[in-house]
């Protein structure tokens, strides 16, 4: 049985009676692997910045954002782990390098990029690993679900007949919308199944029944 690891505490140098300061804490266990608060904060920022949310380079992340990010990061770990175990759904040649380059372009200067890494006590490898899991997870979902999510021209026409308010929308656009809706629903079901088959435990303010406090 897993017992929650105590928070790491440290006293400020030279201040024998200073208040202890939390350096890190466990936020989840995923198939026996601990995920820490600092990992969550860093990886959440990487995904937000990659998606265009450049304010995440330094802005505080509130608990709801961290909670949603934690769920997404757990999903990436599970799906990427499944792909690794099966030796399936590899990344395309140059795909990861292009993603890292795109991420670095979110920073105006080399100094800003290095400051971000220093702030999180990591290097480019940390960013690369986070993006690799994200991309691998996307490959898993795409490989499993793309064919299932396809929408025929006949299906699209029938749907428009049932939803006349979309009659002015070109049929290819209708098919794309229905494909996206179907893919999203299938992906949610796939993620639920992955969670069901895995050993996942949320800890601290993210645990079931937690009040959301940060103390």
Task: Summarize pLDDT for 8-41 with one digit per residue, the tens.
Answer: 333 334 333 343 444 689 999 999 999 999 999 9
For residue 105, the tally of other CB atoms under 10 A from its CB is 9
In a domain, residue 177? The reply is: no
Name the DSSP letter for residue 36. Answer: E
Comparing C-alpha atoms, which of 55, 25, 52, 21 is closest to residue 40?
25
* pLDDT in the model for residue 24: 86
* pLDDT in the model for residue 43: 98
Counted domains in the chain: 1
In a domain, residue 129? The reply is: yes
In a domain, residue 98? The reply is: yes
Domain range for 125: 26-147+201-206
In a domain, residue 60? The reply is: yes
pTM for the whole structure = 0.83
d(CA 137, CA 73): 10
* pLDDT in the model for residue 3: 39
In a domain, residue 16? The reply is: no
In a domain, residue 83? The reply is: yes
Tokens of 165: 């308010």
* pLDDT in the model for residue 178: 98
Find residue 200's DSSP bridge partners. 30
d(CA 167, CA 186): 26
Instruction: pLDDT tens for the chain, 215 residues: list them.
Output: 333 433 333 333 433 334 344 468 999 999 999 999 999 999 999 999 999 999 999 999 999 999 999 999 999 999 999 999 999 999 999 999 999 999 999 999 999 999 999 999 999 999 999 999 999 999 999 999 999 999 999 999 999 999 999 999 999 999 999 999 999 999 999 999 999 999 999 999 999 766 554 43
In a domain, residue 4? The reply is: no
Q: What are phi and psi of 213, to 5 degrees?
A: -70, 155
In a domain, residue 168? The reply is: no
């Amino acid at each position: 049985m897993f017992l929650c690891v105590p928070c790491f505490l440290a006293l400020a140098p030279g201040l024998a009676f200073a208040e202890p300061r939390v350096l890190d804490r466990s936020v989840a266990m995923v198939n026996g692997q601990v995920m820490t608060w600092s990992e969550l904060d860093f990886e959440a920022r990487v995904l937000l910045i990659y998606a265009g949310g450049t304010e995440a380079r330094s802005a505080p992340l509130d608990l709801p954002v961290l909670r949603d990010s934690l769920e997404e990061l757990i999903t990436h770990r599970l799906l990427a782990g499944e792909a690794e175990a099966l030796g399936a759904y590899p990344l395309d040649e140059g795909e990861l390098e292009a993603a890292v380059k795109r991420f670095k372009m979110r920073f105006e200067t080399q100094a800003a990029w290095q400051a971000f890494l220093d702030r999180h006590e990591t290097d480019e490898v940390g960013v690369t690993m986070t993006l690799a899991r994200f991309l691998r997870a996307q490959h898993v979902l795409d490989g499993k679900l793309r064919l299932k999510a396809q929408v025929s021209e006949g299906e699209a026409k029938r749907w428009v007949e049932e939803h006349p308010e979309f009659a002015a929308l070109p049929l290819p656009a209708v098919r794309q919308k229905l494909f996206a809706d179907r893919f999203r629903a299938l992906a949610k079901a796939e993620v639920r199944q992955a969670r069901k088959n895995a050993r996942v435990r949320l800890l601290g303010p993210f645990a079931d029944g937690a009040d959301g406090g940060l103390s």
